[in-house]
Amino acid sequence: MEAAPPEVPRSLLEADLPTLRSFIVARGGKPFHAKVLRRAVLERGVLAYERITDLPAGLRAILEEELPIFSGRLVDERTAADGTHKLLIEFPGRGESETPISVETVHIPPARPERDPNKGATLCVSSQAGCPVACPFCASGLLGLARNLRAHEIVEQYVRGRALGPLSRSVVMGIGEPLLNYAQLSAALDTVRDEMGLGGRKLTVSTVGFPDRLRRLAPDKPRFQLAISLHTPDQEQRDRLVPAMAGVPIEEVLAAGDDWFEKTGREVTYEYVLLGGENDSEGHALRLRERLSGRRCSVNLIPYNPTPELPFYRPESGSPEYFRDVLVDGGLTATIRWSRGLEGAAACGQLRLVR
Ligand code: SAH
């Protein structure tokens, strides 16, 4: 059972507005200081109390002493040659039974900044510590699920990520299966949209596509773009490649995607990791084309990013292009996504849980 929230918040991001207000008032501040504080940190990205000069100095000193901005701690960071920056953030456990866990967040600057100087980075955030889905090609599920991230831990990834440079987009495509931690994710995304100004079409959530969960979300005003990891047109193969979805007919996943489009007016993107010799044949492309034909959607083909301990490899050169052309010739929209951050192990499927 989840422990009751502490009366004294352990970090600023963990405290909701009423909690923050009473904390501040109890220390001689004014109720409106709570909003000033959240605005400074979330909207303007000021990450040191001493620089929030619209608060009284005495209050700033108390905050400095008693209320860290973050609950997490940056334990490692790496920049790849292409500018992709990976953060490893450790979050404490709550109570005695929980050990600290670390998750990864990746800041991906635009590939060709000269094309559009106003374009900011894409931030890739994690939704769970580890992942219970256990796709055999993905590093994120190698240790299973440690625990769900809490809303403020997801928000913290955004705040720390934005401190590395302005964001234009964000994708919930880091560690974890977002729909298995939807309540916390959803609370976090509200904060990110309302207080940090990043949401709607600029935000993509990627999932293996549990049909009933998707249907429960769809009536919502769409707060994000939806990506569904499909990976193969063949049932038996999907049961193996996405074990948590074994037995769920591909047609049901696609039907839930169609419903999403009907209810939200936003097209679904199907993700397809291209695994050499596994799901990258012409037959796969033709069967995928058949499955998707007539549907309003697009396909992102992701050539596999290798993980040393896993027995999968990248398709041969030229094969992703051929695969794409088969889809495009059938009237589909398909794009190849060459991952960034490969050599820093910051690319799709290379992010992992550390404990
Ligand atoms: N669990 C969610 C979020 C992960 S998003 C989901 O599965 O959709 C990351 C995307 O990268 C998913 O489509 C995932 O299947 C894919 N992926 C996983 N491992 C990969 C790898 N090693 N190389 C390329 N893509 C990978």
- CA 129 to chain centroid, in Å, comes to 12
Contact in structure between 303 and 349 (CB atoms under 8 Å): no
The pLDDT of residue 4 is above 60: no
**pLDDT grade for 217, boundaries at 50, 70 and 90:** confident
Q: What is the pTM for the complete model shown?
A: 0.95
Catalytic choice (14, 104, 156, 278): 104
Instruction: Give 141's DSSP letter.
Output: G
**pLDDT grade for 283, boundaries at 50, 70 and 90:** very high
**pLDDT grade for 163, boundaries at 50, 70 and 90:** very high
Ligand 1 atom with least separation from CA of 127: 3
CB 127 near ligand 1, within 6 Å = no
Measure the CA dihedral 229/234/236/237, to 10°.
-50
Q: Max CA-CA distance within the chain?
A: 70
Give the contacts of 320 (CB within 8 A, at least 6 positions apart): 274, 280, 301, 303, 336
Give residue 176 CA to ligand 1 midpoint distance, Å: 10
The pLDDT of residue 2 is above 60: no
Q: In the CATH hierarchy, which top-level class contains the domain 17-66? A: mainly alpha
Among protein residues, the one with the nearest Cα to ligand 1's atom 19 is: 349
**pLDDT grade for 347, boundaries at 50, 70 and 90:** confident
CB 167 near ligand 1, within 6 Å = no
Average pLDDT of span 268-296: 97
The mean pLDDT of the chain is 93
Model confidence pLDDT, tens digit, residues 34-70:
999 999 999 999 999 999 999 999 999 999 999 999 9
Phi, psi of 326 (to 5 degrees): -60, -40
CATH number of 73-344: 3.40.109.10, 3.20.20.70, 2.70.50.60, 3.40.50.720? 3.20.20.70
Domain locations in the chain as residue ranges? 17-66, 73-344
